[in-house]
Amino acid sequence: MPATVILGAQWGDEGKGKLVDRLAEQASWVVRFQGGNNAGHTVVIGDKVLKFHLLPSGITRKECNLVLGDGMVVDPWVLNKELTDWEKSTGEDPRGDRLYVSERAHIILPYHRFMDSLDSKIGTTGRGIGPTYADKINRIGLRFGDLSEIINDAQWITSTVVRMNASLQAAGSEDRVSEESLSADVNWIWDNYNGSIGNTGLMVDNALKLGEHIILEGAQGCLLDIDQGTYPFVTSSVTSRGNASHGAGIHPGHVSEVIGITKAYITRVGHGAMPTELEDADGDHLGTVGHEFGTTTGRKRRCGWFDMVVMRHANRINGFTGIALTKLDVLGGLEEIKICVAYELDGKEILEMPSSASAIARCKPIYISMPGFPGHSLSEWLEIAKKANSDGIGFKALPAAAQNYISKLESLMGVPCTSIGVGPDRDATIDLV
């Protein structure tokens, strides 16, 4: 059975964790292929809210194997806390049993967090992601597979500390790294993870050859892609389809489905322009009803109407075979819903995103309007979803105006919706295929 890729199609925070959790029921492996603990995936099961930053969302499915892939940057201390919390909650430590860390994944060290804390321009999470990717590109990074080679190498420790401290001083940081602390950190990482480090690309490739189903789980979203996003207000990795198989250590021919996740509106955090951003009562409604605060940082998310210019760009880059629409319930109670279908830039109508951040900041949205639909409580939305799935009626269980909104989005995107999310609960999703 081939692999399925799950990607964010907006600026991240679209609800990838919930979808991966649902799809993982039929999967043998879930592989994170890029990013680090700048991601935040939330899974709601009944009254239990699970928040992950590094662990793949498939961890809730006990029969599912988990991989932190080649393209990731991993903070071993953050991962240890997630694993410790998971063990306290479930009694399971999956390291080396069903959780594997790629020998090619890069390690986030305290030095990288020190460097990232100096950022004031991009609005990063400060988790050390960018500096770790920078070391990777500069070919001076530390990978999990390198630990056994350098753990007793005093020369490596000394030269690395000299380099790190020179960089910190040049950047204006007062933090410093000592040989004792770096050596202790390397030994701690090895002691805690040596049993789970492996050639994960080979593991996944073998599973595919045996006909097992693999989910490749992305972090962030297409508009945060280092190459295809709203540069420079982006993350430090390739978040799109082209990196899904590469970051997992397999070839792209294994991928058959690419599901793009989008909210029924749009949000972003950090700096950078968002043409459909709302600073009015409708924006307050989306932020309040949608509980729009970042899983990783707690920062308030900026909210706006659905942006078809963004979606065209994301679809061109990723070639979505289906769209998972989330948070439709949040639009409930609005009298009018708008969809941005184009931008006006310097007096001209454009249908595609400019590459320049300053040009995007000058773009004004061109909207079409549709009637709104009634709001419901989360328990009511959950019952609507359960009935839709049990009766096999799909989105016909929804109010007529909500059905029309979904149909309009499908028509404009040219991609069918495969599911409709109407609440945070795992079961508050209407399956359409």
Give the integer Cα–Cα distance in Å for 352 and 343.
Answer: 8
Euclidean distance between CA atoms 31 and 243, whole angstroms: 12
Q: Are strands 336-345 and 348-350 parallel, antiparallel or unpaired?
A: antiparallel
User: Which parts of 246-294 are beta strand (E)?
Assistant: 255-263, 266-268
Residue 41 catalytic?
A: yes
Judge whether 431 counts as a catalytic residue: no
DSSP SS3 for 375: coil
Other Cβ atoms less than 10 A from the Cβ of 320: the count is: 27
CB atoms < 10 A from the CB of 248, how many?
Answer: 30
Q: What is the dihedral of CA 171, 177, 179, 182, to 10 degrees?
A: -110
Among residues 322, 242, 223, 203, the alpha carbon closest in space to that of 71 is found at 242
Distance CA(399)–CA(403), nearest Å, equals: 6
Pairing status of strand 48-52 against strand 65-68: unpaired
Q: Which of 345, 340, 341 is nearest to 278 (CA)?
A: 340
DSSP codes joined into one string, 28-97: SEEEE-SB-TT--EEEEETTEEEEESSS-GGGGSTT-EEEE-TTBEE-HHHHHHHHHHHHHHHS---BTT
| Catalytic pick among 21, 41, 135, 329 | 41
Name the active-site residue from 13, 116, 135, 425: 13
* Calpha distance 309→18 (Å, rounded): 25
Residue positions annotated with a catalytic role? 13, 41
